[in-house]
Structure 1
Amino acid sequence: MENRCRIRNWLRRFGVQISFFYLGLGLAIILILSGTIYFFTASLLMNEMVSKTHDLLELSGNNIATYIARVKGESDVFANSPVLRQYLEENDESLRPVLMSDIEQLLKNDDCKKSIVVVSKDGRILSNEENLDMSVSEDMMKEDWYMESIHNTMPVLTGARMQSFSPDKDNWVISVSTEITDSAGENRGVLLMDMEYGVVEEHLRSLDVGREGYVFLVNDKGELVYHKDTGFFTSPEKKEQLLTLLAEGDRYDKKKNLLVYQTEIENTGWILVGVVSLDTLKMLEQQLLEVVLFVGALLFGAVILLGILFTRRLAVPMADLEKGMGEIEKLAEISVRKHSFQEAEILAENYNKMIFRIRGLMKEIAQKEETLHQAQLNALVSQINPHFLYNTLDTIVWMAEFNDSAKVIALTKSLAAFFRLSLNGGRELVTAADELEHVRQYLYIQKERYGDKLSYEIRVPEEFLDYTVPKIILQPIVENSIYHGIKPMEGLGRILVTAQEEGEYLIFMVEDNGAGFNPASPKDGRCVRKGSVGLKNVEERLKLYYGQDCGVSIVSSPGAGCTVKLMLKKHVVHRETE
């Protein structure tokens, strides 16, 4: 529990809270800025990668389209050659060498061309390759592949020099067909230009599709034209996967980190679909995250350093103020360190002004309390003197009534000595010798009044006589013993005044063999505690002079007399009334 309180108090300290505030604020700002920069930059990278991928796919598609267009152009030129038309119309074999020379030249101009085949309407074949296995007849208009070649001018994936598709990739070709017509527009034959399948791979090889990426081509009939994995050509399930990707269109699969983009290739009827694994983007994002974290850590370290410096500059003056205010009872002025905040300096200056003012007020209060203290003592003494004077004059009157002039004279002299000692030049402190002489004169007066009923004795060591004590402290006690102890009793009364010392204290004792009482009983103790004005005044005066540890104590019991102790300090000490 104590540790929890200590931790709670530590957390509530100004320096700790301001440190946590700046650290939290700095961390929040760094996280917000870092997150914003990271996501903004990552978005830019993503857009850049997508744009670059789109451009590359478009470029590859355009390259394929350009190549196919060039092949078609060459095919159209050769198909419209007058020599070729004459050869097909007139069946002039003398033109074969010329045409073969043209075919060889076309093949020589493009290494990717596999073969060039001319098939006439009546089934004749003109080609750079021999022993072609092709389905021909005298009426080619009845052959399905021939009719398809006439009507389909788009490039077609097929087996090389074969009309049936072969699973052997090395024999695959891209075939472009062109119808050969005469001047009247009637069909005279078909020109087939076969390009190696690798020409497509050559144009798509430069694409960076990532570790898990790939590209594929499909024609307008949904048939697969190109995929690096030949298993997709024979597996219906895999074909279905590709067609699903084609149907979904352009998209980004964040979970698999795959970008799907498709573009149409002009003059081919093909659609190029790129499934790009953005490995580079992933790597760049990772590097970006590491850089952002590193820079964020550096900034956070800088925030911590600046926060410590700023907090110390603010907290140290506050600690000085706290330390000074914690010792306010010393009324010491506070000095804050140089180069602190202006507010702290102003606060310290105002605090010092307050301390200066408090010092003046306390000095003024002390002077007023001293005056009040003296006035209280004088008031207490003034309460005692009239009371005793009344009792003494009553005794003198009593003696005068019996015409005992000698005793009246002696008693009057004793009374004069008593009041001389009471006044004591206006001083409140007297020697123990004067105080004992004062009570001796009082007992003499009372002895004359009570006669043999009262006897007294004063036994005080001489070494105590030089101590200073408040005046008129023993007489009220002796008076109380006479009036409340000896007067009510039957028989002779005796009063003994003694003194002793205990450490720093001087103790006077007044003992009597009077009636006694029970101090614990409110009824019996009322006369002593509240009924005797003199006894009460002595108690208050001793506490005013010496403090609460000094005063009057009573030991008594019914029929066993009473002992009153007055505890003083050996030297007079003025203290504030508690």
Structure 2
Amino acid sequence: MAGACGREKGGPDRQGNAAAAGGERDTHLHTITGNSNGSLFMKNKLKDSITIKILFAMCICIVSFTLVSSLVISALLGSRLSERARQTNEQYLITIRNQLNGYIGELNTLGALCASNQNITQALGYHTLNNVSAKRMCLKAQEALDSYLSSSSLTLYATRLAIFNSDNICITASASRGHNISETEQLQEYAAACFQNGTGTPVYSWRSAIPNVSASALTSSTDKDSIILACLYPLSVSDGYYLYMEIKPELLKSPLAPYQNLQQIFITNEDRSIFYSSFTPSADFYGELSDLTDGITLQTGGRKYELSSCRIPEFGIYLCILSDKTLFAGDNLYILYLLGIILITTISAGLIITRIVSTRITKPIHVLTAHIRKISETDDFSYNPDIVTSSDEIGEIGHAVNHMALHIQELLTEMEKMFEQRKNIEISLLQSQINPHFLYNTLDSIRWMAVIQKSKNIELTTRALENLLRNVAKGVGDKITLQDELSLVQDYVHIQKVRYVEVFDIHYDIPEEFLSCKIIKFTLQPIVENAVFHGIEPTGEFGEIDIRARSDGEGLYLTIEDNGAGMTPEELQSLKESLKNSNKDSLSGIGVANVDARLKLNYGPQYGLLYDSMPGEFTRVTIHIPLERD
């Protein structure tokens, strides 16, 4: 009884300890309250620091993303613009070249017309102009020249147009300056030098074939170095008939006029002399013209340019266009301005959005923190709807906190009930405690008296009861072999057969390979006991109980089946609920439901008891446990 008294004092002691703990916690709460004013600033600072961290992190992400995106977009757009500029320049050059090719075609057409004109060929066929017919034919030839020149677009640029032969006969257009004998001889020498190999290809030159006259006499200019385009066209090389034309350089400048304000254009010849430019080249620019490969980079005036060039082989010149490659210039500067505006706008919008998001995150966090602090300070585990107002992750956390608080409250209530039940059980055990050795010795004496009196049934029954009581006294949580468990069932069945004579019989179908498998003690006995009391006895007829064993390789299945009353699903569920605790006639004090709980506790939730029953037919209980061998 001393032990019982000691356990009974456990309840008041626990309450006293709880009260002491409560007092200590109250003291701690007073300390916290006393320091609350001092920590208010720290809490506000912590709140601000979290917000600042969120803002800072978001700003870094936004700025980094926007900056990288801007640089990538700038590079892509810059590359795209450069490519478009290159393509545009190529189109410009193609257009200009086509116009110049048109002028070249005009020159060839003019030469072909002159070569095919009968008056011109007849006039050039004379060796002298001493007779009237020769002079009359020369006038007709001059009229033909005037007609061809006036109908050609070259009339705007031609300063001299003449046809001549090797006999010093030279016929000029009316608008052109005439030739004297000396000038005609110079033209003959120039033609002989150009066509000495007998080729009939027109010859173009950027100097006059009459050097003594030069361009000043042709253009009424006082500049002796004026550039002129001279064209010598062979009407008939074999007969010595030629057409000579001098053209103003405006022939080249006119196609460039529409583009000179859009691009930087210049024209150079094979000697790299620039005789036309839409800009003023720097002094060092001429030194970079040694290579006019398309796509190279040239520099002038401190800026870098990409060169697009096109050679006109007939005139021996290069048409060149420069595209500015400087970063802060033209379209590139516009792109940078645009990206700067996008960057500032994105950062501003990001800061506003970040602030809004930060507020929406921190506000419910503060509510949640206040509720958790309330739980820790007041032991108030009640449901708080304020922390589950949102449906996001924070709302899920609030729902989990509410669920946890309610679960803690349930656990505390359950612990109080368990403590009360444990106290009552300990008192009952102490009150009913009997010395097991005294009980075993008494049963052993009865068994020997039966042996002496040759009462076999009493001897076997006493031995069975003694074995059962010994195993109950040793505890019911140990694991034993299936063979030992079946021995306990046989002892129990022997005792029940003494009580219920000719009421039931039991059969075993256990392969020998499973006898060494491990099983928790008193797993089969409560189920066999339930089959006798609730399956066979209510029928009032003789019944049979079958115990079988099988395995699927990983699990062991033990089936206890009786042919008793059977049950409906509702009756089966009701019976499972009523069998959670054993009745007063139970041997081991373990209910069938508790057997299931013990199996799940030891092996896991996938193991335990499986029920199957049919009213008036059978009740089958299958035990599923892992296959463990001794």
- TM-score, length of structure 2 as denominator length: 0.48
The residue aligned with 1:566 is none
AA aligned to 1:338 is T
Please state how far the C-alpha of 1:56 moved relative to its aligned partner.
Answer: 0.4
Distance across 1 between alignment mates of 2:297 and 2:186 = 53
1:35-77 deviations in Å (ceiling 9; x for gaps): 3333222222221111011110121122112212211221232
TM-fit CA distance, 1:177? 0.6
Matches within 5 A, 1:218-257: 218-219=269-270, 222=271, 224=273, 226-228=275-277, 240-242=287-289, 244-246=290-292, 248-252=293-297, 256-257=303-304
CA offsets per residue over residues 235-287 of structure 1, 9 Å max, x none?
99876543x142x4432459824120111226444332223446999332222
| Structure 2 partner of 1:348 | 401
Which structure 2 residues correspond to residues 493-512 of structure 1 after superposition, within 5 A?
none
Unaligned runs of 5+ in 1: 368-578
8 Å contact kept, 1:65–1:268: no
> Which of 190, 203, 206 is 2:255 aligned to?
203
Total equivalences in the alignment: 354
Asked if 1 retains the 8 angstrom alpha-carbon contact of 2:120 and 2:140, the reply is no
Which residue of 1 is the match for residue 147 of structure 2?
105
Q: Deviations over 1:431-484 (max 9, x none)?
A: xxxxxxxxxxxxxxxxxxxxxxxxxxxxxxxxxxxxxxxxxxxxxxxxxxxxxx
On the 8 A contact 2:234/2:242 being kept in 1, the answer is yes
Matched residue, 2:266:
215
CA contact (8 A) 1:107 1:114 kept: no
Distance across 2 between alignment mates of 1:291 and 1:99: 67
| AA matched with 2:366 | A
After TM superposition, list the pairs within 5 Å mapping 1:515-554 onto structure 2: none
Q: Which residue of 2 aligns with 1:168?
A: 223
1:63-142 mapped onto 2 (5 Å cutoff): 63-91=99-127, 92-109=134-151, 110-128=155-173, 129-132=176-179, 135-136=182-183
Match of 1:23 in 2: 59
Q: Work out the CA distance in 2 between the residues paired with 1:55 and 1:169.
A: 36
1:215–1:273 CA contact under 8 A, matched in 2? yes
1:377-526 mapped onto 2 (5 Å cutoff): none
Q: Which of 216, 240, 256 is the matching residue for 1:188?
A: 240
2:260·2:278 contact (CA, 8 Å) conserved in 1?
A: no
Residues 1:278 and 1:32: Cα distance change in structure 2 (over 3 Å): closer
Whole-Å separation in 2 of the counterparts to 1:292 and 1:144 = 63
1:154 partnered with 2:203: yes
Residue 149 of structure 1: how far off its partner (Å): 6.7
Q: 1:133–1:315: structure 2 CA closer, same or farther, 3 Å change rule?
A: farther
C-alpha separation in 1, matches of 2:227 and 2:116: 27
Q: What is residue 310 of structure 1 aligned with on the other side?
A: 357
Deviation sequence 1:484-528 (CA, Å, 0-9, x none): xxxxxxxxxxxxxxxxxxxxxxxxxxxxxxxxxxxxxxxxxxxxx
RMSD: 4.4
Shift of residue 361, structure 1, vs aligned partner: 10
Matched to 2:379, the amino acid is: L
Identity of aligned residues (%): 12
Q: CA deviation at 1:121?
A: 0.8
User: Is the partner of 1:172 in helix, strand or coil?
Assistant: coil
Query: d(CA) in 2 for partners of 1:22 and 1:223?
Result: 58
Structure 1 counterpart of 2:59, one-letter code: L
- 2:276 counterpart letter in structure 1: H
Task: Tell me, yes or no, if the aligned pair for 2:268 and 2:275 is still in contact at 8 Å.
Answer: yes
TM-superposition CA deviations, 1:102-138 (whole Å, max 9, x none): 1222332232222212232122322133454784476
Q: Does the Cα contact within 8 Å between 2:234 and 2:241 map onto a contact in 1?
A: yes
* Distance change in 2, residues 1:278/1:346 (3 Å): same
SS in 2 for 1:122: coil
Q: Any idea what SS the aligned residue of 1:194 has?
A: strand
Secondary structure at 1:30's aligned position in 2? helix
Q: Against the structure 1 CA distance between its residues 52 and 262, is the aligned structure 2 distance closer, same or farther, given a 3 Å change threshold?
A: same
- Structure 2 residue identity aligned to 1:59: T
Q: TM-score, normalised by structure 1?
A: 0.51
Q: CA deviation at 1:318?
A: 1.6
CA distance in 2, matches of 1:275, 1:191: 37
CA distance in 1, matches of 2:326, 2:259: 13
Question: Which residue of structure 1 aligns with residue 346 of structure 2?
Answer: 299
Contact 2:288–2:298 (CA<8 Å) still a contact in 1?
A: no
2:377 to 315, 322, 329: 329
On the 8 A contact 2:160/2:246 being kept in 1, the answer is: yes
Distance 1:27 1:140, change over 3 A: closer
| Aligned partner letter, 2:390 | H
More deviation, 193-202/346-355: 346-355
The residue that corresponds to 1:47 in the other structure is: 83
Task: Provide the rounded CA distance (Å) in 2 between the counterparts of 1:106 and 1:68.
Answer: 15
What SS is found at the alignment partner of 1:205? helix
**Per the alignment, do residues 22 and 133 of structure 1 end up closer, same or farther by CA in structure 2, a change over 3 Å counting?**
farther
Distance 1:76 1:55 in 2: 31
Structure 2 residue 352 is matched with structure 1 residue 289: no
| CA–CA distance in structure 2, aligned partners of residues 6 and 135 of structure 1 | 110
Residue 467 of structure 2 corresponds to none
* Kept in 1: contact 2:295–2:308 (CA 8 A): yes
Q: Is the 8 A contact 1:331 1:359 kept in 2?
A: no
- Residue 161 of structure 1: how far off its partner (Å): 5.9
Measure, in 2, the Cα distance between the counterparts of 1:228 and 1:9: 69
Residue type of the alignment partner of 2:368? L
Deviation larger for 92-101 or 222-231: 222-231
Whole-angstrom distance in 2 between the partners of 1:160 and 1:267: 17
| 1:249–1:262 CA contact under 8 A, matched in 2 | yes
Measure the CA separation in 2 of the matches of 1:39 and 1:148. 54
3-state DSSP class of the match of 1:59?
helix
Aligned mates of 2:278, 2:348 — CA distance in 1: 53
- Greater Cα radius of gyration, structure 1 or 2: 1
Separation (CA, whole Å) in 2 of partners of 1:358 and 1:36: 60
Cα offset for 1:357? 6.3
Change (3 A) 1:131 1:240: farther
Q: Name the CA distance, whole Å, in 1 between partners of 2:61 and 2:378.
A: 40
Partner of 1:534: none
Partner SS for 1:90: coil
Q: 1:309 to 1:58 in 2, by over 3 A?
A: same
Report the Cα distance in structure 2 between the residues aligned to 1:115 and 1:21, rounded to whole angstroms: 79
**Cα separation, 2, equivalents of 1:119 and 1:236:** 44
Whole-Å separation in 2 of the counterparts to 1:39 and 1:279:
13
- Residue 467 of structure 1 corresponds to none
**2:74 matched to which residue of 1?**
38
Go from structure 1 to structure 2 and tell me whether the alpha carbon gap of 1:171 and 1:84 turns closer, same or farther (over 3 Å shift): farther
CA displacement 1:281-303 (0-9 Å, x = unmatched): 93322222222332333333333
1:336 counterpart SS class: helix
Structure 1 residue 101, shift from structure 2 partner: 0.7
Secondary structure, in 3 states, of the residue corresponding to 1:116? strand
Aligned pair partner of 1:338 in 383, 389, 405: 389
1:293-321 superposed Cα distances (whole Å, 9 cap, x missing partner): 32333333333333223222222222223
